[in-house]
Structure 1
Amino acid sequence: MSKVILGENIEKFFGEGKEKTKVLDNITVSVEEGEFVSVMGPSGSGKSTLLFALGGIDRVDKGRIVFDGNELSAGKEKKLSDIRRTGMGFVFQQPTMLKNLNLLDNIILPAVRQDRGRIEQITKRALELMRQAGIEELAKRDITQVSGGQLQRAGICRALINKPKIVFGDEPTGALNSKSAETIMELFTEINQEGTAVMLVTHDARVAACSERVLFLCDGKVVSELRLSKYKEKDMKRRMEQVTGQMRVLGI
């Protein structure tokens, strides 16, 4: 199995002068093709910064990031933008949608911007993704006419519209109730099983327990790694015990 993304010896600083703080401290991390990885750690440990760095949203100060053979740390912004749009998907805690577009139009927007000539095929794919996410009947609804969980599912559909190799999620269930969060994780698990790599930042042990591997960060460093792939997917009790046990050891 080959690496879909590699961050090697990456460092990231915030602030200047005496206020300068190292947020990522010589981290090396990778995600294999089709792998499901979660990132956990206390607030301020660098979880989201790591995610944004690997996704090419934030530039790193040292080290290199390679995605699908392209070195992001050396790329120009136009190239980075194209790579993010076509090769990656992003899901955030609060989905950012355009208020003047309905759910379907918000989902197809990234793909239509890339190729207006394929709008029929793009729409067909979007409706199939919405069907898979259980929101196909909401296609023509405004974003103010759906629940938070439904909006998040639409955000995942949008992240998948260009068939990315990896989907990044920053606390994608953080603003949802337990039932909606469970539905979202079922969807992430399903798309991962179809071959898309997934990397999620989370505080929730239930979310992390769905992944194959959990990285624990503290003060900008990976301090522990937990492999859950040896446990059956349905054995959530054992998976949860492993995650919560490691959280207790690290004081998270």
Structure 2
Amino acid sequence: MKLVSGKQIAKSFQVGDEQYNVLMNISVTINKGEFVAIMGPSGCGKSTLLYALSGMDTIDHGQVIFDGMDLASLRDNELADLRRTRMGFVFQQPTFLKNLNILDNILLPAMRDQRKNVSILTDKALSIMEKMGIADLAKRDLTQVSGGQLQRAGICRALISDPLMIFGDEPTGALNSTSAQEIMDLFTVINSEGTTIMLVTHDPKIAARTERILFMCDGAIVNELRLPTFTGIDLDDRMAKVVATMREIGI
């Protein structure tokens, strides 16, 4: 069942007299429950596509439908509410407020809905933190945790509103290999519980943990690789298939 559908998406930027076409009439569908990666060289449009599909960036023409809603038809406040309540975002560098502890930063997006009970939300946040392995860090300041722990907190924040889909832009890019694989373990569990996930990554080892990989080059999707559900013991074989596909298309 479709969750996100992009049709003939185009996006360009004007720099002086030069026009740069970043997305070239891309059509793509993400189904509910999928775990998708976007790969490609720097500047190929990976992040721009993710931002377009999530409504974080406007497009020049085309259409994006999320959960049955045409994003272009929504007012700014409606689009913001949609992203806050039905989407979660995890970035390479988590952005938190320095004057708040870890728990309060996780709670912040959900606190905008005044109908929600604070104590219930707090219990929910602590439950998610327990699941992510950072419940003991709830009262710590941002400077008192590691990069991997901070990224786990970012995932908690993305989950606090029970999103239909999580968008990740290089969520493991700033982490060492051990922390990166731990984060992917968490994403695998989240996806197995029904949450759709789309990740932008340059790392074949990260992409190999997903079930569908979209390969981009020069603003277009040029290939696709489907993989079976990750078992935990087939990573080398999956990586070999990812790398082989990258070689085939010259990226």
Work out whether the TM-score is over 0.5. yes
Aligned to 2:143: 144
- For the residues of structure 2 that align with 1:180 and 1:117, how far apart are their CA atoms? 33
1:10 counterpart letter in structure 2: I
What secondary structure sits across from 2:139 in the alignment?
A: coil
2:173 counterpart letter in structure 1: G
What secondary structure sits across from 2:236 in the alignment?
A: helix
- For the residues of structure 2 that align with 1:65 and 1:106, how far apart are their CA atoms? 30
Shifted more, 70-79 versus 43-52: the winner is 70-79
Aligned to 2:170: 171
1:12 counterpart letter in structure 2: K
- For the residues of structure 2 that align with 1:115 and 1:108, how far apart are their CA atoms? 12
Q: Are 1:169 and 1:199, in contact at CA under 8 Å, matched by a contact in 2?
A: yes
Identity of aligned residues (%): 58
How far 1:115 sits from its partner (Å)? 2.9
- For the residues of structure 2 that align with 1:162 and 1:48, how far apart are their CA atoms? 23
What secondary structure sits across from 1:15 in the alignment?
A: strand
Tell me: CA distance 1:114–1:231, structure 2 relative to 1, closer, same or farther (3 Å).
closer
Aligned to 1:247: 246
Residues 1-252 of structure 1 aligned to structure 2 (within 5 Å)? 2-15=1-14, 18-115=17-114, 117-229=116-228, 232=231, 234-252=233-251
How far 1:31 sits from its partner (Å)? 1.0
Q: Are 2:210 and 2:230, in contact at CA under 8 Å, matched by a contact in 1?
A: no
How far 1:250 sits from its partner (Å)? 2.3
Shifted more, 152-161 versus 238-247: the winner is 238-247
How far 1:17 sits from its partner (Å)? 6.6
What secondary structure sits across from 1:39 in the alignment?
A: strand
1:153 counterpart letter in structure 2: R
Shifted more, 120-129 versus 228-237: the winner is 228-237
How far 1:106 sits from its partner (Å)? 0.3
- For the residues of structure 1 that align with 2:84 and 2:151, how far apart are their CA atoms? 19
Shifted more, 12-21 versus 200-209: the winner is 12-21
How far 1:151 sits from its partner (Å)? 0.2
- For the residues of structure 2 that align with 1:13 and 1:244, how far apart are their CA atoms? 29
Tell me: CA distance 1:231–1:110, structure 2 relative to 1, closer, same or farther (3 Å).
closer
How far 1:73 sits from its partner (Å)? 2.2
Give aligned pairs, total.
251
- For the residues of structure 1 that align with 2:204 and 2:117, how far apart are their CA atoms? 41
Shifted more, 222-231 versus 70-79: the winner is 222-231
Unmatched segments (≥5 aa) in structure 2: none
- For the residues of structure 1 that align with 2:229 and 2:175, how far apart are their CA atoms? 29
2:64 counterpart letter in structure 1: I
How far 1:74 sits from its partner (Å)? 2.5
How far 1:117 sits from its partner (Å)? 3.9
How far 1:30 sits from its partner (Å)? 1.4
